[in-house]
Amino acid sequence: MSIQHTDDVPQRTPLPEQSFHEKENRMTIADLEPTTPRREDEHPLYRVAGVTRTYTQKGRIVKALTGVDLDIMPGEFVTIQGPTGGGKSTLLQLLGALDTPSTGSLLLDGRELASASAKELGRIRAEEIGFVFQGFNLIPTLTATENVDMALEPLGLDRAQRRTRVAEALAHVGLDDRGDHLPTELSGGQQQRVAIARAIVKRPRVLLADEPTGNLDESMRDEILTLLESLCAEGITIIVVTHDSAVARHATRRLRLTKGVVQDITK
Ligand code: ADP
Ligand code: MG
């Protein structure tokens, strides 16, 4: 019996080379031997300490984060749940170097983001962080290929390298035959897969997603979750903000953010 190939099942093709940070993130028995020297990758990818973020809006002070302490290790699949207004998007923007804390320390791979220059934050975003949003945020006038290619603009690759990378990323999310489609010519699940291809084409260390399945029906949601899990297995750290407890079931660690404070609810 042949395997049914439907449009909405991602057909993944592994990327060449050692994909992402696969090798560094795999624990082996040897790592547990007491004689093994401490490896660099045992340091947290993120170390958040005493982070607050306060907004001032029309003279009123809003404390979005009131004191977050959090370590995230490379290769984790973390979900962040919690009520609307709890500070989830604010935290994700800080982790994504889109914003900086009001007070406290936020280390990415040992580098302090809280005091980094705008230029340095921009470089980190362009090279190391992939973003996925609820509304996909694709540019409607560009094809899938062109949308994915945009993420490579800051990296200074030549045209041939870019073309190869974009084709690989689209194949990785099972859309190698949809490169010339506009977003309106794709299903919601396919659009989110293009957005994920755009996020991974730069080969980031971490993928941050804010309600990535919020606009999708159940089957498309499961398709995106399977894809995120496979990216995590390849060594990309995944951090997902979600309202959906079905999404949280895929996590290796579950956090809850309420009134600006993080609580670990992994059972
Ligand atoms: P969540 O994503 O959990 O719904 P947010 O991080 O978006 O929460 O918001 C946390 C709090 O900060 C809310 O009270 C929200 O109104 C406020 N807030 C978020 N962004 C801004 C902003 N740019 N200016 C003023 N207040 C903001
Ligand atoms: Mg939010």
- Please give the domain boundaries of the chain with CATH numbers for all domains: 73-97+118-264 (3.40.50.300)
Cβ(46)–Cβ(71) below 8 Å:
yes
214 alpha carbon, closest ligand: 2
- The stretch 238-265 carries a mean pLDDT of 94
Grouping H, G, I as helix, E, B as strand and the rest as coil, residue 221 is helix
Query: CA nearest 128: which of 202, 47, 21, 32?
Result: 202
Q: What is the tens place of the pLDDT at every residue in 106-130?
A: 999 999 999 999 999 999 999 999 9
> Strand 77-81's sheet: what is its strand order?
129-133, 206-210, 237-241, 77-81, 253-258, 261-264
Confidence category of residue 160, pLDDT binned at 50, 70, 90: very high
Question: What does the pLDDT read at residue 214?
Answer: 92
Structure tokens at 85: 């207004």
According to the model, what pLDDT value does residue 28 have? 43
Place of tokens 């407890």: 245
Both tokens of 21, joined, read 């940070």
Q: What is the mean pLDDT of the chain?
A: 88
Give the separation between CA 238 and CA 20, rounded to whole angstroms: 13
CA atoms within 13 Å, Cβ hemisphere of 122: 6
pLDDT at 265 > cutoff 50: yes
The pLDDT, as a whole number, for residue 119 is: 96
pLDDT tens digit string along 34-62? 444 445 557 999 999 999 999 998 999 99
The atom number, within ligand 1, closest to the CA of 83 reads 3
| Residue keyed to tokens 């001032």 | 56
Out of 24-38, 174-188, 221-235, 248-262, least confident range: 24-38
In the structure, what pLDDT confidence band is assigned to residue 201 with cuts at 50, 70 and 90?
Answer: very high
Nearest-ligand number for the alpha carbon of 86: 1
pLDDT for 95 equals 98
Q: Find the residues whose C-beta lies inside 6 A of ligand 1.
A: 55, 57, 62, 64, 82, 84-90
Task: Locate 257 and state its tokens.
Answer: 């953010």
In this structure, are residues 206 and 128 in contact, taking their beta carbons and an 8 Å threshold? yes
Residue 6 pLDDT exceeds 90: no
Q: Which ligand is nearest to the CA of 95?
A: 1
Three-state SS for 109?
A: coil
Q: Which residue's C-alpha comes closest to atom 26 of ligand 1?
A: 55
Closest of 192, 214, 242, 232 to residue 8, by C-alpha: 192
- Ligand 2 geometric centre to CA of 201 (Å): 25
Q: Which residue has the higher pLDDT, 27 or 86?
A: 86
Q: Which helix (H) or strand (E) holds 167?
A: helix 159-172
Which two structure tokens, joined as six digits, stand for 196?
């994920």
Q: Check residue 116 and give its pLDDT.
A: 97
Going by alpha carbons, the residue nearest to atom 5 of ligand 1 is 87
pLDDT of residue 39: 52
Contact 74, 41 (CB under 8 A): yes
Phi/psi of residue 256, nearest 5 degrees: -130, 135
Query: Checking DSSP bridges between strand 129-133 and strand 206-210, what pairing results, if any?
Result: parallel
User: Is the distance from CB of 224 to CB of 29 less than 8 angstroms?
Assistant: no
Q: Do residues 23 and 75 lie in contact, with contact meaning Cβ atoms separated by under 8 Å?
A: no
Note whether 69 and 48 are within 8 A (CB).
yes
